[in-house]
Amino acid sequence: MILITGGAGYIGSHVVKEIAQAGYDVIILDNFSTGNRAAVDALHTLLKAIPGSGRIELAVGDCGDETLLDSICQQHHIEAVVHLAAFSEVGESMQDAAKYFTNNTAQTIYLLNSMKRNRVNHLVFSSTAAVYGQPLQTPITEDHPLRPTNVYGMSKMMIEFMLPRYRANYGLNYVSLRYFNAAGADNSALIGEKHRQESHLIPLVILRAMNKKSQFTVFGDDYDTPDGTCLRDYIHVSDLAQAHLLALQALLKGNITERVYNLGNGRPHSVREVIAAVEAISGRQLEYDIGPRRPGDPSILLASSQRAMDELGWQPQYPQLQDIVASAWKWHQSENW
Ligand SMILES: NC(=O)c1ccc[n+]([C@@H]2O[C@H](COP(=O)([O-])OP(=O)(O)OC[C@H]3O[C@@H](n4cnc5c(N)ncnc54)[C@H](O)[C@@H]3O)[C@@H](O)[C@H]2O)c1
């Protein structure tokens, strides 16, 4: 059985689907702090329709609750942990550092210690492009220096620094996945991106096009980029999920013992291009405000994911921005939770 923390969240629910449909039994551990119980219900429906899927169970609680973790490990044969549970609002992390260091760093240490006690030796860890900070070169490769400019990135980087010690001292095999901008939704449109406080560009623009949000702001149109707005690397959430399955299988087969991978599309898209893609699919011309740059926002964030392609055999299936936006649009149109 595979333990997936944060499996009721946006990316986590897609990872649960991918891993369960490959036949693994999954136990989701989530405290619903930012996730949705309805995502777990939707996963049951979705997986029931896919022959050969593994079972999914739900444990409600904290990913750092050692008593709960020990009991999960004792009741189930946990082969590996996929650890996605975390807070991920960059702006909030700069206002409330303790919240991020506690949830993302301290809670993860308790999880790692429980894994050690219960001899669970395989971990797929959700890291982030935020560990890099302002890029020194583009596209960013995994050996780029880690110089995060926000607390969120620091809270993840600290775990990345610890993992080699858990490997050396206790034999933990791990893969750390540094995602760039996750976007889109499962093609069933039964699961998708739903944050209580939406801060991500694609859902914000879609919600505006659906009249569910008021005017939005583009932060800076004077960057040194072709249209003046920031360039980002959007990766379809189902492609991210696929990489988790490949990483998990490589760990379980013993092909990998410790490795870090970037996960991005390698294609930069500007804020204005995202808005244009939503305008095209919604058939609406959108008005928006231009605000000042946000401190610390690099003009371009672009991944090299060559290592994941070469070593894991990963290949994004939905690299086109139009397809990513279309899947998000379909989810928002049919969203029933
Ligand atoms: N969304 C992105 O573009 C992006 C980019 C890079 C990295 N990430 C990372 O991916 C992971 C998932 O992000 P997401 O966008 O799906 O966010 P999300 O908020 O939708 O999902 C996080 C899930 O973890 C749960 N959770 C949080 N803290 C917990 C705790 N202490 N115990 C148990 N459950 C807890 C939440 O309830 C939620 O279900 C995070 O680790 C995030 O840092 C996300």
Which positions are catalytic? 152
Domain ranges of the chain: 2-185+234-264
Rounded to the nearest angstrom, the distance between the alpha carbon of 86 and the centre of ligand 1 is 4
Q: What is the pLDDT of residues 309-334, one digit of tens each?
A: 999 999 999 999 999 999 999 999 99
Measured between its terminal Cα atoms, the distance across the chain in Å is 28
List pocket residues of ligand 1, CB cut-off 6 Å.
5-6, 8-12, 29-35, 62-64, 84-86, 88, 103, 107, 126, 128, 179, 181-182
DSSP letter string, 115-140: HHHTT--EEEEEEEGGGT-S-SSSSB
Rounded to the nearest angstrom, the distance between the alpha carbon of 100 and the centre of ligand 1 is 12
- Atom of ligand 1 lying closest to residue 35 CA: 39
Whose CA is closest to atom 9 on ligand 1? Answer: 126
- Atom of ligand 1 lying closest to residue 33 CA: 37
Residue 252 has pLDDT above 80, yes or no: yes
Q: What is the pLDDT of residue 337?
A: 82
CATH number of the structural domain 2-185+234-264: 3.40.50.720
Contacts with 106 (C-beta within 8 Å, 6 or more apart), sequence order: 64
C-alpha 112/C-alpha 83 separation (Å) is 10
Rounded to the nearest angstrom, the distance between the alpha carbon of 222 and the centre of ligand 1 is 31
Pocket test for ligand 1, best of 13, 36, 82, 88 (most atoms within 8 A of CB): 88
Pocket test for ligand 1, best of 34, 60, 111, 204 (most atoms within 8 A of CB): 34
Whose CA is closest to atom 34 on ligand 1? Answer: 30
Residue 319, Cβ neighbours under 10 Å: how many?
A: 15
Q: What is the pLDDT of residue 64?
A: 96
Q: Taking the mean position of all CA atoms in its chain, how far away is CA 268?
A: 18
C-alpha 97/C-alpha 182 separation (Å) is 23
Q: What is the pLDDT of residues 127-159, one digit of tens each?
A: 999 999 999 999 999 999 999 999 999 999 999
Average pLDDT over residues 100-111: 98
Rounded to the nearest angstrom, the distance between the alpha carbon of 199 and the centre of ligand 1 is 14
Average pLDDT over residues 26-50: 97
The mean of the pLDDT values for the chain is 96
C-alpha 19/C-alpha 58 separation (Å) is 15
Residues facing residue 235 across a β-bridge: 182
For the chain, the farthest-separated pair of C-alpha atoms sits apart, in whole angstroms, at: 57
Contacts with 194 (C-beta within 8 Å, 6 or more apart), sequence order: 10, 36, 39, 335, 337
Contacts with 310 (C-beta within 8 Å, 6 or more apart), sequence order: none
User: Residue 56 in contact with residue 20, Cβ under 8 Å?
Assistant: yes
Residue 336 has pLDDT above 80, yes or no: no
Contacts with 267 (C-beta within 8 Å, 6 or more apart), sequence order: 233, 302, 319, 321
* Tokens coding 39: 């995502």
Residue 49, Cβ neighbours under 10 Å: how many?
A: 9
Of 113-117, 208-212, 309-313, which range is least confident?
208-212
Task: Give the residue from 226, 243, 234 showing the smallest Cα distance to 301.
Answer: 234
Backbone angles phi, psi at 206, to 5 degrees: -65, -45
Rounded to the nearest angstrom, the distance between the alpha carbon of 89 and the centre of ligand 1 is 10
- Atom of ligand 1 lying closest to residue 179 CA: 6
Which uninterrupted H or E stretch holds 167?
helix 151-170
